[in-house]
Amino acid sequence: MSSSSELKVALAQISPVWLNKEKTIQKIERAILDASTQGAELIVFGEGLLPGYPFWLGLTKATEFDSKMQKEIFAHYVRNSVSIEKGELNSICALAKEKGISVYLGIIERAVDRGCHSLYCSLVYIDKVGEIKSVHRKLQPTYDERLVWSPGDGNGLQVHSLKDFLLGGLNCWENWMPLPRTALYAQGENVHIAVWPGSKHNTEDITRFIARESRSYVISVSSLMLRGDFPRDTPYFEEIVADAPVILADGGSCIAGPDGDWVMEPITNEEGIFTATIQVNRVLEERQNFDPVGHYSRPDVTKLTVNRERQRTVRFNN
């Protein structure tokens, strides 16, 4: 097999420096350097890693309307979220280019095109020359996430070429949504990236299910979070940690092959950069008997329409 038919991937199962944008970026950059020294060509980080998942919501009566505490924590979250247009991912892009490594990174996006004050859980793809090729805003935040994250759009439902592979990705429970998955399958996706805030209970079943459904590799990457990871200078620190469990996110990062068998079983309670090599020929072999958008589809009976227009409240005509 040619070198283009194999890809070494790195799963970055790390914790954020919670709600600290600058320090979390530094930790992400150290992980990229580590993956590069291991020969990885792609590195994947968990959902919302930069600057962190909003764990406080389930610990502080977040549904209390007009709560001063919720307002102040949210303001802290906004200040530490990422404005791509202002260049806040530039150092990560430069490092990806320097090391020739592609990156899938989960961020909390402070979107300039939506006024800068609402937040989106976004999955960013940076290619090996350091260019941001897509920003997928989570279509539907889950449960209490809706108190701090806004619904996204279809603009980021894109796949990206890396050697002989076509990569696409979704955030957390979006992976349970059959139509967004289908939108990626139809573009030729053969490596599906599924990012999570953490926990094996999220990854152990669906990773293998999507692999068997799509006959693709599925790379699930989760973050870690312990009660001791909450910085003491976080607003309302004492209230947040009062009822926090010792382990909030145990990881569960893993890889399933196109037949649904494990390439890398879920890894829990361990921080690190975990690598594996995948081969595109395994995808071709498994597509022989099932291809969900090819020979095993009936577009004359069922068909999907996808709107990939970036949604904006205002459009200005010069």
pLDDT on residue 315? 86
> Residue 2 — pLDDT band, cuts 50, 70, 90?
low
Instruction: Report the amino acid identity of residue 284.
Output: L
Catalytic residue, from 47, 109, 145, 286: name it.
47
Does residue 138 carry a catalytic annotation?
yes
Which residues make Cβ contacts (< 8 Å) with residue 285, sequence separation at least 6?
A: 258
Tens of pLDDT, residue by residue over 202-247, are 999 999 999 999 999 999 999 999 999 999 999 999 999 999 999 9
CA proximity to 191, closest of 153, 156, 160, 223: 160
Q: Quick: pLDDT tens for 69-119.
A: 999 999 999 999 999 999 999 999 999 999 999 999 999 999 999 989 999
Question: What confidence score (pLDDT) does residue 318 get?
Answer: 82
Q: Does domain 3-286 have CATH number 3.40.50.1110?
A: no
The residue annotated as part of the active site, out of 172, 200, 213, 286, is: 172
- For tokens 């980021």, name the residue: 156
Active-site residue flag, 47 = yes
Which residue is catalytic, options 88, 109, 121, 138?
138
Tens-place pLDDT, residues 169-197? 999 999 999 999 999 999 999 999 999 99
- Report the share of the chain in percent with pLDDT over 70: 99
pTM score, whole prediction: 0.96
Catalytic residue flag (residue 41): no
